[in-house]
Amino acid sequence: MYYSLEKKGVLEAVMQRFEKQRLPRILDIKRMVDRGEVLCKLDIEFLEEVFRDTQQYRHFVDEHPEFQKLYATVAHLYDDIAKKALDNENKSQTS
């Protein structure tokens, strides 16, 4: 669901959610794929949701350079996780 980050309190709520809920789970998933584990359906759905939300807020980040580094970091993490997860999935199917 998209909310305007320009509205008072919305940006703070989105950032708190990211910091306290999403980032820890993203980092847990990253550690899993780094260990060679295959993602479960819930992990994939979570990452898809994070990616959709990240894409929805792209215009906001374009207008607020102070968030560009965070946005780029999340995008890079997502990309890295997706590549490793696919590699792990391929390895598990050939074993």
Q: Which amino acid is at 94?
A: T
Domain ranges, ordered by start, for the chain = 10-94
Residue 3: what pLDDT?
58
Q: For the chain, how far is it from start to end, CA to CA, in angstroms? A: 40
Please answer whether residues 77 and 22 qualify as being in contact, where contact means their C-beta atoms are separated by less than 8 angstroms: no
pTM of the predicted model as reported, rounded to 2 decimal places: 0.84
Low-confidence ranges of the chain (pLDDT < 50): 1
